[in-house]
Structure 1
Amino acid sequence: MEFSFVKRLLMLLIVISIFSNSFNNKVIEAVSPDKPLITSEAAILIDGKTGRTLYEKKPDKKMNPASLTKIATAIYAIENGNLDDLVTISHNAREVVGTRVYLEEGEKITLKRLIQGLLINSGNDAGVAIAEHLDGSVEGFATSLNRYLKDLGLQNTNFVNPHGLYHPEHQTTARDLALITKYAMKNRDFREIFGTKELKWNGKSWDTTIYTHHKLMRQQPYDGITGGKTGYVVESGITLVTTATRGELSLIAVTLNAPSEDIAYHDTVDLLDYGFDNFNVESISEGQLFGINNEEYINNDILIYTISKNEKIHQQITNDGLLELKNDFQDVIATFQLERITTLDDKNVSETKDSQIKDHSNYTFIYVLFFTMFVLALLMISRWFYRNFNKKMYY
């Protein structure tokens, strides 16, 4: 009888262990949608409004971006130059190699037109003309551009030219490219040029219509696409930056060093589909009050954050009034600094819901513990009845 009881107990513990693992796996699967399989060497998908990273693969590896460099050149030029300025094209700009808009030495063209040629047709000559106009030389431009990017928070970027032609010290990361694109998309002039599909070009020696090189904007249109830039040199492979918006959700996808165009675009579509299929934008309305340790705080703006469609968000206030949004696994989804408005005396201000976030595994452990105790109690009761029943039978 004793051996039979121990055996049953061991079997019970095995069943509980299996049940616990299964429960945990189901919970994890519920909040972690299947991620796409990306072939490009590095990639990242972020929310274009909040900056939350939704997918990443080697996001901080320093790589050559090729013509994706021109995104940084364009926003720097828009913010530091006058779009109506007339720029005189130099011999140096005229002779640059690679993709061009066929500028002629001595030709005069507005800065805005150069930025259009830079982003839409990926004109390397336009990039050199912009650099010389703003900072006197390509070298001076690179120094100023790197300082500008550092001020914006890009820590792993060093550009030595305005166009992205290969240089061993010309490097950035998928994350930095996503961040500079996010920043640039706040600018109306940049958004307009970045999203232009075609433009009539009347140059001194080139009268034509230029078209964006990004296939998802023209040849293979993607629902919600708002802009894109392509890049290629032998050393970088195929590189892409793509922006798209559906409803309240705006996405920025970056892929670096894809072995072919087809793979680069396939990776990009998979990233965008993953984002739109699995994430939503939520908000906290303006003017809500939050209290902690006799301090009261308020949010003066609408607070926007991005979550997985299966995520549950908990709010937590720190002692200095920082609102943290966390999921069940204590991952910080977003943070917002609130404004302190008063010290609470005896006012009954409810603290933020779920301010003490507990790891989901703790809930699972407690659940399993109580379940185990309950079943053990049942076994002990049944064992007691079994013994007493046998005694009565043989009495």
Structure 2
Amino acid sequence: MIGVLCISVGFPVLQVQAEEEAQVDNLQLYAQSAVLMDGESGRILFEKDGGEERPMASTTKIMTCILALETANLNDIVTVSKEAARQPEVHLGMKEGDQFYMEDLLYSIMLESHNDSAWAVAEHISGTVDEFTSLMDQKAKKLGCNHTNFVTPNGLDGKDEDGIHHTTAKDLARIMRYCIMESPQKEAFLRITQTKTKTFQDTTGKKQFTCSNHNAFLDMMEGALTGKTGFTGEAGYCYAGAVRQGDKTLIVTLLACGWPNNKNYKWDDMKKLVQYGLDQYEYRQYWEEALQNGEIRLLEAGKEKEVKDSTPQDGNLYNDGTVNAFLNISATDRQKRILMKKTETIEIQIQEQDTIQAPVEKKQKLGEVTLLLNGEVLEQKNIISGDQISRKDLLWTYRQIWKTYAL
């Protein structure tokens, strides 16, 4: 039998909560889909139709770039195919048979959003674009992006047996988080996307190209970290970017954020969402908050539990023994944190065995503690036994009887 106890810890204030809800209502975003994510934890702090599947235009290229960084050598020589050279504007203007170094083409992709460069990189890595987009889909699935379908490596609208080229604001935020927070090539990704201007040549040195970064947001807000713009007729204006101020890293994704004559809508939405995240959220150490609860403190110190049919320390035939049940909260656990609003609370679920039957092994699971935030699991820890305890058997019973009557 398992007993369940649910507790909330925190300090909700109704007036503050009402003010925060009003601020969310007043965001008035242009984007049809938007997400604000905490880069450290991946927690979604705000969303507007974040799960709606939409085309994402050239924000696609963040996946193309990170896959190239992880699977290719930056000194690889990329030979341009006829199909790559045929890609429409925006393009570098490469010709069939031209050769470039991989690293230079990544600057071309991320600074100027060149479609031909993305196509050439995809063919170099996988042999065909279809194989490369399959690689993109596989990577997306590993990142938990289950509503994304890559059809092209450059973000141009397309369609295959799985539907149109699309993602969601949530999935796109997960991809951006991977690129800047988790990938082994995150520093290279940031170095490329933060570069203002890059000049390079083809491998013969006869053709020279200069690429300028079109991510204007890098100069719009303190701590602007990275970003990628996008536009197609189907997708509208799109953006995926990140800002780091102090110890907060905030990721914003915007899909269908206006069409021609509304090019700057995405910058307005970006500023609103980042400022909302900076103003309304603060890091809180969730195990420290959980320790405000007396039951959690008791489990951390060791809670005495009766063990049925176990050998008691006093040797009394008619008593059962006990074992201390522990919840191990380490110094590292106490430092674990997550961005939360002032009004949000941590919910604690404690599940303990109502009846513990001997024998019990040391560190045997006797229950678990789950911390939740808005119904989502933050962390689970096992409640374990502090000692080994034996079961009463005939030999032990005989010995106790002998001791009793022999005395």
Q: What is the match of residue 279 of structure 2?
A: 277
Distance 1:181 1:345, change over 3 A: same
Q: What is the match of residue 73 of structure 1?
A: 64
Match of 2:17 among 24, 28, 34: 28
1:181 partnered with 2:176: yes
* Distance across 1 between alignment mates of 2:92 and 2:377: 43
Q: What is the match of residue 195 of structure 2?
A: 196
| Aligned-partner SS, 2:88 | coil
Distance 1:314 1:285, change over 3 A: closer
- Asked whether the 8 Å contact 2:242–2:252 carries over to 1, the reply is yes
* Distance across 2 between alignment mates of 1:304 and 1:280: 10
Q: Deviations over 1:29-53 (max 9, x none)?
A: 1564611111211111111111111
Q: Deviations over 1:259-294 (max 9, x none)?
A: 2212121111111111111112234689x9973772
TM-score (norm 1): 0.72
| Aligned-partner SS, 1:160 | coil
Quote the offset at 1:165 in angstroms: 0.5
Match of 1:314 among 342, 346, 353: 346
* Distance across 2 between alignment mates of 1:116 and 1:318: 52
What is the root-mean-square deviation of aligned Cα atoms in Å? 2.8
Of the two structures, which has the highest relative contact order with CA contacts closer than 8 Å and spacing of 6 or more?
Answer: 2
Quote the offset at 1:179 in angstroms: 0.3
TM-score (norm 2): 0.70
Question: Bigger shift: 269-278 or 98-107?
Answer: 98-107
- Asked whether the 8 Å contact 1:78–1:189 carries over to 2, the reply is yes
Question: Bigger shift: 253-262 or 292-301?
Answer: 292-301
Q: What is the match of residue 296 of structure 1?
A: 327
* Distance across 1 between alignment mates of 2:199 and 2:350: 55
Q: What is the match of residue 336 of structure 1?
A: 379
* Distance across 2 between alignment mates of 1:318 and 1:341: 9
* Distance across 1 between alignment mates of 2:326 and 2:14: 40
Which letter maps to 1:296?
L
Question: Bigger shift: 299-308 or 259-268?
Answer: 299-308
Distance 1:268 1:205, change over 3 A: farther
Structure 1 regions of 5+ residues with no counterpart?
1-22, 347-395
Quote the offset at 1:160 in angstroms: 0.8
1:134 partnered with 2:125: yes
* Distance across 1 between alignment mates of 2:194 and 2:278: 20
| Aligned-partner SS, 2:55 | coil
Count how many residue pairs are aligned between Structure 1 and Structure 2.
315
* Distance across 1 between alignment mates of 2:343 and 2:207: 54
Which letter maps to 2:93?
Y
* Distance across 2 between alignment mates of 1:81 and 1:334: 37
Quote the offset at 1:119 in angstroms: 1.0
Quote the offset at 1:298 in angstroms: 3.3
* Distance across 2 between alignment mates of 1:312 and 1:257: 31
Which letter maps to 1:174?
A
| Aligned-partner SS, 1:79 | helix
Which letter maps to 1:178?
A
Structure 2 regions of 5+ residues with no counterpart?
1-11, 304-324, 352-366, 389-407
Q: Deviations over 1:94-137 (max 9, x none)?
A: 12112122223222222222222111111111111111111111
* Distance across 2 between alignment mates of 1:25 and 1:48: 28
* Distance across 2 between alignment mates of 1:33 and 1:306: 20
Q: What is the match of residue 20 of structure 1?
A: none
Match of 1:58 among 18, 43, 49: 49
- Asked whether the 8 Å contact 2:286–2:346 carries over to 1, the reply is no
* Distance across 1 between alignment mates of 2:70 and 2:193: 15
* Distance across 2 between alignment mates of 1:303 and 1:116: 37
- Asked whether the 8 Å contact 2:100–2:201 carries over to 1, the reply is no
- Asked whether the 8 Å contact 1:121–1:211 carries over to 2, the reply is yes
- Asked whether the 8 Å contact 1:74–1:190 carries over to 2, the reply is yes
Match of 2:371 among 324, 348, 353: 324
Is the helix fraction higher in 1 or 2?
A: 1
Match of 1:38 among 29, 32, 46: 29
* Distance across 2 between alignment mates of 1:27 and 1:265: 28
- Asked whether the 8 Å contact 2:368–2:383 carries over to 1, the reply is no
| Aligned-partner SS, 2:23 | coil
Question: Bigger shift: 178-187 or 192-201?
Answer: 192-201
Question: Bigger shift: 115-124 or 312-321?
Answer: 312-321
* Distance across 1 between alignment mates of 2:119 and 2:153: 6
What aligned pairs does 1:144-159 form with structure 2 within 5 A after superposition? 144-159=135-150
- Asked whether the 8 Å contact 1:102–1:205 carries over to 2, the reply is no
- Asked whether the 8 Å contact 2:20–2:280 carries over to 1, the reply is no
* Distance across 2 between alignment mates of 1:284 and 1:162: 40
Q: What is the match of residue 218 of structure 2?
A: 217
